[in-house]
A and B are shown apart, each in its own frame.
Chain A
């Protein structure tokens, strides 16, 4: 359309139902056509990095929970790995196995929220609630082991806060069996729904080279069709022992790298996580989970950058130690923070409604963006 209308600025957020938190998007629109998107952050800034400098190494762990509060175990995991690398300690086998299982459970839980809220943004509220029902299942399992539902403080430097609950293995297996038909149902209800496909396919196409240049990671990058997963490409913990696939966007319903691909990668990733859990759950060796926890954490001088594959992408901890009990500098390379930067690039030339779909498919957590 070439009818010239006035450009107007639409402030989406900080109070808006579907900006996934207190994000403010400044949309410059012409009619319904988006010309420019400027995200404004910082409404949830809680000074994590400043706080961390005043904490001892082990006291930082509860703070990392609050970054990506939908995948708190991943945050603990990354931080613990980084400090362990600084300290140069090895953790027992049992700890590694439990960490991996927990992280994969958490990945499923986090993807459930991501998929559900992506659907809810587009208007399908029912799948959202079904997915939350399934997420409760996971949260119950984790709660039984570590006592909290969201902010676990579970993975400690050199170990775990608790050993797994006696029922853990049985319940996790039950969950795996329960969850597989749910994915099929979700596919039928939402993924292959014509309206949903119309809303997401060919929308917000992110080419591979742009994605890499913008530093996108996780499902956002894999949706563009590149097989890059830190669990395979830069293996940490014991991920190299498991056999799993890296799902990528194939452009089944439209162009490679569109919203539907990003969405679908998450669903397929949940299946792969189930596969990892099934491989790991029977092989947990016996042992003590707290034996390797150092009494006093005082790493030598040095810097470390450790990254793991969090549900939202590459979560990196850059830690500088000056040889004291407090970290000198902790910088979090938050996947949502980096992925959100792509938004401005993706939304150009789409409609206001597409901005919501694209934002939902990028899947940000404001706790992590603002830190």
Chain B
């Protein structure tokens, strides 16, 4: 019987306590923000969309290898002597034309593993986090600065160069043989 009245009392009392708490909250200011208009200030270490500063990229492929989900795709063409590719901001000389540098953000897992191995610190994460697209292919970001034609040209140049070099080599080899023959 005591239990019965105790239950009744507890039922009413705890409900009233709860109501008091929620009533207090009725007048506390909201903690939410109006998202598209008001935005949170993101910390500087924010890990969101990757950005590649192509001026500094030397095409070393380290980020691609570090990526656990293989979302970075890099293609490079070797430069031929005489071409000036410029230097990176920390003074390294570039040696490769980066003809393709695609990041598929549909795959990217924002783990930042690609950022650490980069020798020139040219790939880094920005605080852009709104980049939804209607088409999945639009999520493949192309960072390479060379146009298709330029890339093609570079490739042809390089092939031509290697072919020439090969020809030279074979010619030199033939010459050497000739020389050896004649010498012997």
Report A-chain residues with C-beta under 8 Å of the C-beta of B22. Answer: 126, 189
Chain A, 191-239, CB within 8 A of any chain B CB: 192-195
Q: Is B161 an interface residue (CB 8 A)?
A: no
* Bound CA span A147–B22, Å: 34
Q: How large is the interface on A (under 10, 10 to 19, 20 to 34, 35 or more residues)?
A: 20 to 34
Within 8 A of B (CB), among A263-280: none
Docked-complex contact B68 and A62, CB < 8 angstroms: yes
A65 and B69 CA atoms in complex are apart in Å by 14
- Which among B21, B46, B47, B66 is the interface contact of A189 at CB below 8 angstroms? B21
Answer yes or no: B81 CB below 8 A from chain A CBs. Answer: no
Closest B residue to A133 by beta carbon equals B31
Which of A58, A165, A188 is B43 in contact with, Cβ under 8 Å? Answer: A165
User: In the complex, are the beta carbons of B66 and A194 less than 8 A apart?
Assistant: no
Roughly how many angstroms separate A10 CA and B143 CA in the complex, as a whole number?
53
Q: Which residues of B contact A130 (CB under 8 A)?
A: 25
Beta-carbon contacts under 8 Å, A138-179 to B: 143-148, 151, 153, 161-162, 165
Contacts A59-B68, A189-B22, A190-B18 aside, 19 further interface pairs with beta carbons under 8 A come to: A58-B113, A60-B68, A61-B111, A62-B109, A126-B25, A136-B31, A146-B47, A147-B47, A151-B111, A153-B113, A165-B43, A165-B45, A185-B21, A188-B17, A188-B18, A188-B21, A189-B17, A193-B18, A194-B11
**Complex Cα spacing A123 to B31, Å:** 22
Q: Chain B CB within 10 Å — which of A151, A189, A194 has the most?
A: A194
Specify the chain A residue showing the minimal Cβ separation from B11. Answer: A194
Judged by a CB distance under 8 angstroms, whether A55 is at the interface is yes
CB atoms of A147 and B68 under 8 A apart: no
Q: Does A63 contact B (CB under 8 A)?
A: yes
Instruction: Tell me, in angstroms, the Cα distance from A161 to B117 when the chains sit together.
Output: 12
Please report the C-alpha to C-alpha distance between residue A26 and residue B113 in the assembled complex, in whole angstroms: 41
Interface size class of B (residues with CB under 8 A): 20 to 34
Q: Does B54 touch A at the CB level, under 8 Å?
A: no
CB of A137 to closest CB in B, whole Å: 10
**Would you mind naming 18 contact pairs between A and B with Cβ atoms under 8 Å apart?**
A62-B68, A62-B109, A62-B111, A136-B31, A144-B45, A146-B45, A146-B47, A147-B47, A151-B109, A153-B111, A153-B113, A165-B45, A185-B21, A193-B14, A194-B14, A194-B15, A195-B11, A195-B14
CB-defined contacts of A147 to chain B, threshold 8 Å? 43, 45-47, 112, 125
What is the chain B residue whose CB lies nearest that of A293? B116
B141 interface hit (Cβ, 8 Å): no
Identity of the chain B residue whose Cβ is nearest the Cβ of A162 in the assembled complex: B45
In the complex the two chains form, is B112's CB within 8 Å of A153's CB?
yes
Residue numbers of A with Cβ under 8 A of B are 55, 58-63, 65, 126, 130, 133, 136, 143-148, 151, 153, 161-162, 165, 185, 188-190, 192-195
Majority secondary structure of chain A interface residues (helix, strand, loop or mixed): helix
Q: Across the interface, which residues of B come within 8 angstroms of A61, CB to CB?
A: 111
Using Cβ atoms and an 8 Å threshold, which residues of chain A touch B109? Answer: 62, 151
B43 pairs with A143, CB closer than 8 A: yes
Set A143, A190, A193, A194: member contacting B7, Cβ < 8 A: A194
Q: Closest A residue to B127 by CB, please name it.
A: A147
Tell me the complex Cα distance, A145–B68, Å. Answer: 22
* In the bound complex, CA of A337 to CA of B18 (Å): 35
CB pair B10 A161 closer than 8 Å: no
**Top 7 A-B pairs ranked by shortest CB distance?**
A62-B111, A147-B47, A59-B68, A147-B45, A144-B43, A194-B11, A153-B111
CB distance from A65 to the nearest CB of B (A): 8
| A161 CA to B112 CA, complexed, in Å | 9
Contacts of A145 in B (CB 8 A): 45
Do residues A151 and B110 form an inter-chain contact, with CB atoms below 8 A?
yes
Residues B13-38 near A (CB distance < 8 A): 13-15, 17-18, 21-22, 25, 31
Complex Cα spacing A82 to B17, Å: 48
Residues of B within 8 A of A190 (CB): 18
Using an 8 Å CB-CB cutoff, how does the interface string of B73-115 with A read, 1 for contact, 0 for none? Answer: 0000000000000000000000000000000000001111100
A293 to B21 alpha-carbon distance, docked (Å): 49
Q: What are the residues of chain A within 8 A of B45 when measuring CB–CB? A: 144-147, 162, 165
Closest to B13 in A: A194
Instruction: Please name all residues of chain B whose beta carbon is closer than 8 Å to the beta carbon of A189 when the two chains form the complex.
Output: 17-18, 21-22
CA distance A133 to B109 in the complex (A): 26
Contacts of B17 in A (CB 8 A): 188-189, 192-193
Find A143's partner among B18, B25, B46 (CB 8 Å cutoff): B46
Please give, as numbers and ranges, the residues of chain B lying within 8 Å of A194 by CB-CB distance.
7, 10-11, 13-15
Interface centre among B17, B18, B31 (most CB of A within 10 A): B18
